[in-house]
């Protein structure tokens, strides 16, 4: 069976941007593209009583139009479509990603960017928190790479670096010929705040050196695995989410992790949640154990 890049669409500009982003990724990886629409309560609302076939026909036309737009810009790419009607939107998209042998799932997202607006809605958040393959969230106004540095930004937890997340980011950087910017935000000991952040300069530099060393150590195995990827180690004082959002302005992709929590239920951690709401570039949420 062919491996797929899966893209969800609802006909909006954001979802069309997601389909185009997914098509670029499919070409880069040598996979096919599958564009799907997950039936929602809004589809039911717009269906005339006793005439759901009319809405289904419109939905299938929307999928066909999205496929044609992608084919026009990506000649030779295998593009298929599908209508998901078996379950709630989040569950059906998560199931489709698993059933279609998908490498990743790409969704469109609304938002203003920065800390002034939100990036995703409830379906995007729900899918990102539950999907077993990486989920990429794309905004229409930032979908293309025009004017951006060839950089992939990776959020790194130096105490517990997640292999799946780091490897995904290195793969993306390698495939794009991009620089990998590994970002680690760290907070000074609480006593600094109590003291008004007045500390000897040598103590500040000691902490900087310690945190930079932890970041270097966390990336060591992947530097060896991907020797052709240029890596920028970006360790800075501040919250992890804030550091990543700040680095996202001109990035081609931001990569964050999401821990699988089978006992506690699916949800996003605080860093991933903040980054996917406020980052100014497409965001990949990668599940890890």
pLDDT tens per residue, range 170-191: 999 999 999 999 999 987 766 5
Helices 270-278, 240-247: crossing angle, 10 deg rounding: 30
Kindly tell me if the per-residue pLDDT of 136 is higher than 90: yes
Q: Give one DSSP letter per residue of 58-80, joined into a string.
A: HHHHHHHHHHHHHHHHSTT--EE
Sign, Cα dihedral of 231, 237, 243, 249: negative
Residues 279 and 195 in one domain: yes
Q: What is the pLDDT of residue 206?
A: 79
Q: Which residue has the tokens 């998901």?
A: 84
Kindly tell me if the per-residue pLDDT of 1 is higher than 70: no
- Domain end, chosen from 143, 167, 185, is at 143
Q: Residue 234 belongs to a domain with what CATH number?
A: 3.40.50.12370
Count how many residues are written for the chain.
289
The rounded distance, in Å, linking the Cα atoms of 178 and 255 is 13
Residues 137 and 149 in one domain: no
Residues 138 and 149 in one domain: no
In which domain, by residue range, is 225 found?
Answer: 145-289
Q: What is the pLDDT of residue 115?
A: 35
Residues 128 and 50 in one domain: yes
Query: CB neighbours (10 Å) of residue 27?
Result: 14
Residue environment code for 28-50, b if the CB has 16+ CB neighbours within 10 A, otherwise e: eeebbbbbbbbbeeebeeebeee
Query: Residue 46, SS3?
Result: helix
Q: How much is the mean pLDDT over the chain?
A: 83
Residue 131: pLDDT band (50, 70, 90) is: very high
Residues 286 and 167 in one domain: yes
Residues 205 and 274 in one domain: yes
Residues 259 and 123 in one domain: no
Residue 268 vs residue 46, higher pLDDT? 268
Residue pair 32/67 in contact (Cβ under 8 Å)? The answer is no
Q: What is the pLDDT of residue 102?
A: 87
Q: What is the pLDDT of residue 262?
A: 58
Residue 119: pLDDT band (50, 70, 90) is: very low
Query: CB neighbours (10 Å) of residue 255?
Result: 30
Which of 28-37, 141-150, 174-183 is predicted least confidently? Answer: 141-150
Residues 134 and 24 in one domain: yes
Residues 188 and 159 in one domain: yes
Residue environment code for 76-99, b if the CB has 16+ CB neighbours within 10 A, otherwise e: ebebebebbeeeebbebbbbbbee
- The closest alpha carbon to 82, from 65, 96, 69, 95, belongs to 96
Q: Are strands 102-108 and 231-237 parallel, antiparallel or unpaired?
A: unpaired
- Domain end, chosen from 143, 161, 190, is at 143
DSSP tag of 256: E
Q: What is the pLDDT of residue 58?
A: 82
Q: Residue 128 belongs to a domain with what CATH number?
A: 3.40.50.620
Q: Which residue has the tokens 């930004």?
A: 153
As a whole-number percent, the residues of the chain with pLDDT over 70 amount to 78
Longest dimension (CA), the chain: 76
Residues 58 and 167 in one domain: no
Residues 155 and 135 in one domain: no
Q: What is the average per-residue pLDDT within 120-140?
A: 86
Residues 149 and 197 in one domain: yes
pTM of the predicted protein model: 0.87
Q: What is the pLDDT of residue 94?
A: 93
Name 136's bridge partners.
Answer: 106, 284
Q: Give one DSSP letter per residue of 29-45, joined into a string.
A: HT-EEEEEEE--HHHHH
Q: Are strands 283-288 and 135-138 parallel, antiparallel or unpaired?
A: antiparallel
The rounded distance, in Å, linking the Cα atoms of 125 and 57 is 28
Residue pair 155/206 in contact (Cβ under 8 Å)? The answer is no
The domain total for the chain is: 2
């Amino acid at each position: 069976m062919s491996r797929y890049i899966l893209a969800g669409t609802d006909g909006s500009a954001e979802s069309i941007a997601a389909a185009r982003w997914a098509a670029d990724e499919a070409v880069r990886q040598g996979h096919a593209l599958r564009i799907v629409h997950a039936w929602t309560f809004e589809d039911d609302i717009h269906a005339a009583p006793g005439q759901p076939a009319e809405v289904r026909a419109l939905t299938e036309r929307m999928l066909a139009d999205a496929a044609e737009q992608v084919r026009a810009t990506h000649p030779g790419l295998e593009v298929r479509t599908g209508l998901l009607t078996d379950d709630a939107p989040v569950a059906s998209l998560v199931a489709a990603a698993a059933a279609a042998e998908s490498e990743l799932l790409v969704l469109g997202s609304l938002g203003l960017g920065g800390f002034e607006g939100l990036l995703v809605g409830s379906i995007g958040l729900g899918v990102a928190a539950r999907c077993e393959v990486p989920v990429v969230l794309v905004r229409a106004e930032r979908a293309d790479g025009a004017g951006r540095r060839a950089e992939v930004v990776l959020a790194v937890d130096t105490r517990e670096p997640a292999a799946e997340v780091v490897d995904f980011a290195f793969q993306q950087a390698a495939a794009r010929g991009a620089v990998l910017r590994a970002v680690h935000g760290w907070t000074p000991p609480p006593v600094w705040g109590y003291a008004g952040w007045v500390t000897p300069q040598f103590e500040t530099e000691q902490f900087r050196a310690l945190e930079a060393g932890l970041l270097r150590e966390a990336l060591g195995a992947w530097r060896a695995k991907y020797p052709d990827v240029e890596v920028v180690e970006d360790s800075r004082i501040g919250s992890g989410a804030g550091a990543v959002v700040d680095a996202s302005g001109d990035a081609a992709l931001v990569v964050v992790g999401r821990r699988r929590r089978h006992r506690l239920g699916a949800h996003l951690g605080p860093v991933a949640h903040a980054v996917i709401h406020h980052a100014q570039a497409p965001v990949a949420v990668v599940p890890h154990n």
